[in-house]
A and B are shown apart, each in its own frame.
Chain A
Amino acid sequence: MGKYLARRILTTIPVLVGISFIVFALVSFAPGDSISLMLSNETVNVENVAKLKAELGLDRPWYVQYVSYMGKLVKGDMGRSVQFNRPVAEMIGEKIGNTFKLTIFSCFVSLCIAIPLGVLAAARRRSIFDYSATAIALVGVSMPSFYLGLLLILFFGLRLGWLPIRGLPTYDSTFLKQIRYLILPSITLGSSMAGILTRLTRATMIEALGQDFARTARAKGQSEMGVLFKHAFPNAFLPILTTFGMQFGSLLGGAVIIETIFSLPGLGMLAMNAVKFRDLPLIQGTVLVFAVCFVAVMLIVDILYVFIDPRIRYD
């Protein structure tokens, strides 16, 4: 078990190095005019471009730049935002909490839809549950999230006026109030994951229910609920967990869209602002943090494996 964990943790190192290099290359190998685009029209001249290049360290050879970039990065220094003249790390720190709230609540929403629906569909094949699960799954996967978001805003926010559609209340407001603001964004962000996981839960549960151990459990008089949740579900759960981890990346990517639509001040909106103003250090910082979050989630999922699946523990 220790060996597995150590190996798994070590394999993240080349990945993290690769990520840092790509993020670095985004800016370093960018075509020259991307620098002049960072300056306002009045201040674009050869002198100012050279000055900004020197400030960002872009006038040195790329390998020197990369070493210095990495050197700063391990100390937690991601440079300063050109647009706001503030440390990038500080700005990300302020916003990341909101993105966490959004993604965690979206995961919660999608698991709450996917697992019961998928299990029910597998248990009652060709019933109304099965068909509605398939339909919901297909719609969830095929619906562009920005479209769903706007439809929800239009009907539940504007026409019916049931739920807030913009922003987030302050950190000190009540939990329930915060949840109210998160309902529409989380349904929007979680819908695609819910679709994928519903299908997967259904498929893996059907497979598990067809195995010998399920028949044995039935033969020894286990109730149908017991067969479903004690015997079949634990076996179906591992692929669900894997897919959940892999889908987390698209959830983070989707956060950019959802935060823009619902004006949620999170990491995604920060990234969009950075991109709009071509604030290169801020672009680098946000892309890096998104990728590292995803790597961390994948790592956590793999570590959870060890505790859930004893077969890995004794390998």
Chain B
Amino acid sequence: MKKRNTIFSGAPRLLKVFARHKLGIVGLIALSAFIVIAVFAPALVRFDPYTMDLEHAFVPAGSGGHLLGTDNFGRDTFSRLAYGARISLLIGIVVVTLAAVVGTILGLLSGYYGGWVDFTVMRLVEVFYSFPFLILVIAVMAILGPSIFNVMWVLGLVHWPSYARLVRGQVLSLRNIEYIQAAKTTGCGDARIIFRHIMPNTITPIIVQATLGIPGAILSSAALGFLGFGVQQPTPEWGSMVNEGKDYILLNSDMILWPGLCIFLVVLSFNFIGDALRDTLDPRLSKQLK
């Protein structure tokens, strides 16, 4: 059977290059740990994350079987952090997927058709770029009401422009290359050219951008949670856990230290992975910087 040349055919070589990035590997390990904790949270925790036990509020780490102690309502901190990992990772991935899909489609159309389509999409990109997006998101959440679903689609919707710009740039550089012209002369339709011939060539930068976009999405959703416009209590979301903890900052600073540390570590691991991935997939750039 003839081996097909796909975007995965270079995978073994790329894995070797990726493995040279120590920080990338560290990020991958740390992230895997968070994913394992998120997926197996119900099996890993000893206490229910929602059950309050006011007699055991502010229990210090390690005592009474509470690995990281308890919060002001006596809920187990480790359980809440483990369940919080599910929410943060889910939001990060959904937001970026949504943004990448919308941005890619608009970028493909904008770059391929040009003319008024391009003009409209690009003006839209500029308008979206010119909002300090957190403020726009807060305003929208205030009007629609905060919920995890609203957090995901609103954040996804404000993040699409960077993907649209990236893809459009790629399409413009590909549009007049010979093989696209050849596809046209053999009678391929627009849809086939766009999705079969152009899109596969834009996938690599999209993957890099998306990996580097996830930490941003996690940070924004945590910020929303912290401000009270994200995922609502009692759902254990890291940002809102820090918000709850800030009233007890002197009494029990653990309540902000742990959830904040989790956000920081997850974001840091994604940044490590994103950097390594960019260097792996874009060797020109990495050679320049080495």
Question: For B136, what are the chain A residues with a Cβ–Cβ distance below 8 Å?
Answer: 22, 287, 291
Binding site for A on B (CB under 8 A): 123-124, 126-127, 129-136, 138-144, 215, 219, 222-223, 226-227, 229, 239, 242, 246, 249-250, 253, 256, 260, 263-264, 267-268, 271-272, 288-289
Contact yes or no, B132 A253, CB < 8 A: yes
Contact in complex: B135, A145 (CB < 8 Å): no
Nearest Cβ distance between residue A24 and chain B, in whole angstroms? 12
| Residues in A neighbouring B256, C-beta threshold 8 A | 147, 150, 154
Residues of B within 8 A of A147 (CB): 242, 256, 260, 263-264
- Contacting residues, chain B, for A22 (C-beta < 8 A): 127, 131, 136
Query: Inside 8 A of A198's CB, which chain B residues have their CB?
Result: none
A275 to B134, CA, bound (A): 13
Is A168 part of the contact surface with B, judged by Cβ < 8 Å? no
Binds B, one of A11-19, A51-59, A73-81, A222-230: A11-19
Given A142-B268, A257-B134, A286-B135, 8 additional A-B pairs, CB 8 A: A26-B143, A138-B268, A206-B289, A207-B288, A207-B289, A210-B288, A268-B135, A287-B139
Give 6 A-B contacts (CB < 8 Å), ordered by A residue. Answer: A18-B124, A31-B143, A252-B135, A257-B226, A268-B135, A286-B135
**CB proximity to B under 8 Å, residues A243-263:** 246, 249-254, 256-257, 260-261
Whether A291 pairs with B130 at a CB distance below 8 angstroms is yes
> Which of B134, B239, B264 is the one whose CB lies under 8 Å from A143?
B264
Q: Chain A contact residues (Cβ within 8 angstroms of B): what range?
A: 35 or more
Q: In whole Å, how far is B89's beta carbon from the nearest beta carbon of chain A?
A: 15
Query: A254 CA to B229 CA in the complex, in Å?
Result: 15
Which residues of chain A have C-beta atoms less than 8 A from B288's C-beta?
Answer: 206-207, 210
Contact between A256 and B242, CB atoms less than 8 A apart: no
The answer on a CB contact under 8 Å between B260 and A150 is yes
Inter-subunit contact B144/A154 (CB<8 Å): no
Q: Which residues of A contact B131 (CB under 8 A)?
A: 19, 22, 249, 287, 290-291, 294
| Alpha-carbon gap, A158 to B288, bound state (A) | 46
Best-surrounded residue of A154, A253, A256, A280 (most CB of chain B within 10 A): A253
Return the contact of B215 from the options A18, A30, A142, A272 (Cβ within 8 A): A142
Contact (Cβ within 8 A) A15 B126 = yes
Q: How many Å lie between the Cα of A206 and that of B288 in the bound state?
A: 8
Cβ of A111 within 8 Å of any chain B Cβ, yes or no, is no
Contact A275 B138, beta carbon cutoff 8 Å: yes
The 6 closest A-B pairs by CB, nearest first: A253-B134, A18-B127, A147-B260, A253-B132, A275-B142, A252-B132
| In the complex, A240 has a CB within 8 A of chain B | no
Q: Chain B: which residue is nearest A158 at the CB level?
A: B250
B267 CB to closest chain A CB (Å) equals: 4
Q: Is the CB of A142 within 8 A of B267?
A: yes
Interfacial residues of chain A within 275-294, with CB under 8 A of chain B in the complex: 275-276, 278, 280, 283, 286-287, 290-291, 294
Query: A264 within 8 Å of B by Cβ?
Result: no
CA–CA, A210 and B235, complex, Å: 52
| Assembled-state Cα–Cα distance A276/B223 (Å) | 16
Q: What A residues does B253 contact at CB under 8 A?
A: 154
Report the Cα distance A141→B253, complex, angstroms: 23
Asked if A216 lies at the interface with its beta carbon under 8 angstroms from chain B, I say no
Shortest CB–CB separation between residue B233 and chain A, in angstroms?
16
Contact in complex: B242, A260 (CB < 8 Å)? no
Bound CA–CA A298/B131 (angstroms): 11
The answer to whether A250 and B134 touch across the interface, beta carbons within 8 angstroms, is yes
Chain B residues near A210: list those with CB within 8 A: 288
Binary contact readout A29-60 vs B (1 if CB under 8 angstroms, 0 otherwise): 01100100000000000000000000000000
- Chain B residues near A150 (CB-CB < 8 A): 242, 246, 249, 256, 260
Chain A residues whose C-beta falls within 8 Å of the C-beta of B263 in the assembled complex: 144, 147
Q: Which residues of A contact B135 (CB under 8 A)?
A: 252-253, 256, 268, 271, 286-287, 290-291
Q: Which residues of B contact A283 (CB under 8 A)?
A: 139, 142-143
